Structure 1
Amino acid sequence: MKYYLIAGEPSGDLHGANLIRGLQKADPGAEFRFWGGDCMAAAGGAENLRKHYRETSFFGIVQVLKNLGTIRRQMRECQADVTEFAPDVLILVDYPGFNMKMARWAKEHGIRTFYYIAPKVWAWREWRVKAIRRYVDRLFIIFPFERTYFPKHGITPVFEGNPLVDAIEARRTTLPTPEEFRRRNSLDQRPIVALLAGSRRNEIRDNLPLMAALSRKFPERQFVVAGVAWLDRALYEQYTAGSGIRYVCDQTYETLAAAEAAVVTSGTATLETALLGIPEVVVYRTVWWQVWLRPYVLKVPWVSLVNLNLGREAVAEIIQSDFSVDRAERELRAILHGGSKRGKMLADFGELKTIIGGPGASERFAARMVAELHAQKIK
């Protein structure tokens, strides 16, 4: 069968690649075409990559408005390419701003559509639930708590675990020892605190200054920020100057594996950190009125995926509009070796792994997709 996948971010590229491998196993004759990145190109063939996410990623209202013309042109390009390829199914991987519009278009043109990794409608923009119900033929979810959320809105989802577990397990055996990580990056022997400040410019701008201020409270430890290649190193260094924070690039899992603890900006990184078994503090800085409006706008009580999946506050969430580091310092000290909260947090992470499910989710999702398509052909 023929599969057309659309992913618009690095995480979607990673999960899309693992799904492609699962589809190849479940359907040896599978043909692919996709929008994605290097990971998907490696899995499904570079000749089948029609557009790289570097060309399609626009974050924030200002950036989207400035590039509306480009986004509309890319939408038309994508629709034309899907039409030309004539897939048995269009698989949308997260990336809701673009993909929800593609779902509507596909429905209008009679193209079967699967949505893999549901939009986070349970947190904000809940109105998208109606669009999912109307335009998506099958929704595939990756968080256990979504199994009760979507049926309340008339959608029967498919849950087979979380593909992030596959990504982590694939890397775990290749991660360097803490000693080797230090040697490769010219670090000293002090215990490491990992800093995951986000993957977008505005996240770095908003959160790294707080992390830099926090690092000055712990001279006996070395703080290491895990950068990403698509952002200039100079962006990080303008906020870490004079703090002693060390910079490494595209070594997030390596940094976490060598760390005693981590300070993490909200997002998928909170779950990755927990699944790697590293105690963490979640921090997120935003403007004062967004902090004030949070109880009225956010549909869930927590922002970290750790707490959302456990259904309780297992990791501290510090959402603030200023640079106060007092609570961040207290929470970080509590999860370092000998800290009062470290043992309980590690036990909570063990429970989280059980709830999330074991490796093989990507293959299980792929098998369900292929079975669904075969059943549809038989009807």
Structure 2
Amino acid sequence: MKYYLIAGERSGDLHAAKLMQELQKQDTNAEFRYWGGDMMEATGGYLVRHYRELAFMGFKEAITNLFKIVRFLRECKADILAYQPDVVILVDYAGFNLRIAKFAKANGLKVFYYISPKIWAWNQGRVHTIKKLVDRMFVIMPFEADFYQQFDYKVDYIGNPIADLVSAHQANPSFRQQNNLVNKPIIAILPGSRKQEIEAILSVMLSVVSDFPEYQFVIAAVSNLNPEYYRNIEKKDNVSVVTNQTYDLLANAQASLVTSGTATLETALFNVPQVVCYSTSALSYWIARAVIKVPYISLVNLIAGKPVVKELIQNDLNSRNIIAELRKITKDDAVIQQQKGDYQDLRNLLGEAKSAAKAAELMVNYLSLDAGH
């Protein structure tokens, strides 16, 4: 069968690549064409456009790049029509992908959604759009199945792919040596993978380095950004940069400062105490405050349904607060043990699901049934 996938950011690239690998096992004739990234490209098929061109963060950034987004949508629609896939598989990235879903459905194409857009956080009314446009929804958060059930829409909970990735990771025993790291405990800095969020948050994270001289700070860099972007950071005392080694970094870290996103869940699953950091443009933040319907921004707190980790958002993200919270998760045994205990409850909630394999099996079965095979 012919599969057309769309992933608009780094985490989507990762999850889509895993799904493609499992689809190849289930469907030996699988052909792929996609918008995605390096990991999908390494799996096979044809990369139409890289997600780094699509990574607009926040409302303000989306508005200022509106003409580019419209052009990309037009290009994507034309490409889908020309390819005529058996199914269009959308991976998160709601703003772009829901428009593609509407187009695909109008043109008689099957639409699957792998990793639900976060409509439970804001604009819950979009669930009615999803019911009309998406043939099958595959969700990765335990609470999402219940959310959709409220609207009489049956979805498939496939477990969480992050839990699978973390449990499968084999730590590099030479990580410190290969990266020339000194013999000090590590505070991991996970500033995100998009340039806008790194520029908004990284400098504030690094402002506390001199207050923790007994630690070394190690930044998780990503290869989709130019190495020169990180070059000046490496000149700072007590700060190092490692690229595409986030899991090995977390496996060696004692504590962490993490930009809100998938990384908060990864950090929790590696059992590393963390402080969640988030900042965006004033306009984007103002709009978000007006529309967001959930009490937390980190996946850890959302899944747990309580404040497991401290969230420093917008004006609260400053040196004084970071120092205070970082001292708690490096010095206060009661805080550390409480957070780690809550992490264990989180792991129990998620379970170990082989999510990509489960999703691929369901997708191929659904497509075969619909084709009357």
TM-score, scaled to structure 2? 0.91
Are residues 124 and 217 of structure 1, via their aligned partners in 2, closer, same or farther at CA, if it must alter by over 3 Å?
same
Q: Which residue of 1 aligns with 2:90?
A: 92
Shift of 1:115: 0.8
Distance 1:216 1:234, change over 3 A: farther
With over 3 angstroms needed to count, the CA separation of the structure-2 counterparts of 1:108 and 1:263, relative to structure 1, is: same
- Select which of 231, 256, 261 maps to 1:267: 261
Query: 1:207-286 to 2 correspondence within 5 Å?
Result: 207-233=201-227, 235-236=229-230, 242=236, 244-286=238-280
Partner of 2:199, secondary structure, is: helix
Q: What pairs up with 1:31-42 in 2 under 5 angstroms?
A: 31-42=31-42
- 1:301 aligned residue: 295
Gaps of 5+ in 1: none
Q: Which moved more, 1:70-79 or 1:105-114?
A: 70-79
Return closer, same or farther for 1:297/1:338 CA change in 2, 3 Å cut-off: same
Write the deviation string for residues 237-284 of structure 1: whole angstroms up to 9, x where unpaired.
667865632222222112111111111111111001111221111122
Q: Deviations over 1:5-60 (max 9, x none)?
A: 111211111111111122122222322222222211222x24x2222223433344
CA distance in 2, matches of 1:286, 1:66: 15
Partners of 2:136 and 2:11 in 1: how far apart? 21
Match of 2:103 in 1: 105
Distance 1:356 1:322, change over 3 A: closer
Structure 2 distance, partners of 1:116, 1:251, is 25
The SS at the match of 1:277 is coil
SS in 1 for 2:277: strand
Taking a change above 3 Å as real, the CA distance of residues 287 and 368 of structure 1, as seen in their structure-2 partners, is same
1:86 and 1:294 mapped to 2: Cα distance? Answer: 37
Distance in 2 (alpha carbons) for counterparts of 1:60 and 1:286: 7
Amino acid at match of 1:298: I
Residue 75 (structure 1) aligned to one of 70, 73, 76: 73
Query: 5+ unaligned residues in a row in structure 2: which ranges?
Result: none
CA shift, 1:307, in A, is 0.8
Matched residue, 2:2: 2
Q: What is the CA-CA distance between 1:65 and the residue it aligns to?
A: 4.3
* Counterpart selection for 1:176 from 152, 172, 179: 172
The residue type paired with residue 126 of structure 2 is R
3-state SS, counterpart of residue 330 of structure 1: helix
Number of aligned positions between the proteins: 373
Percent identity of paired positions between Structure 1 and Structure 2: 44
Q: How does 1:127-166 map to 2 (within 5 A)?
A: 127-166=125-164
Q: What do the CA deviations read for 1:119-153 (whole angstroms, capped 9, x no partner)?
A: 11112233432321221111111111112112223
RMSD: 2.5
Q: Which amino acid aligns with 2:83?
A: F
Structure 1 length-normalised TM: 0.90
Matches of 1:34 and 1:58, distance apart in 2: 19
| Alpha-carbon displacement from aligned partner over 1:59-115 (angstroms, at most 9, x marks no partner) | 444544454444333323322222222222111111212111110001111111011
Separation of aligned partners in 2, 1:54 and 1:324: 29
Change (3 A) 1:182 1:113: same
Letter in 2 for 1:149: F
User: For 1:3, what is the secondary structure of its paired residue?
Assistant: strand
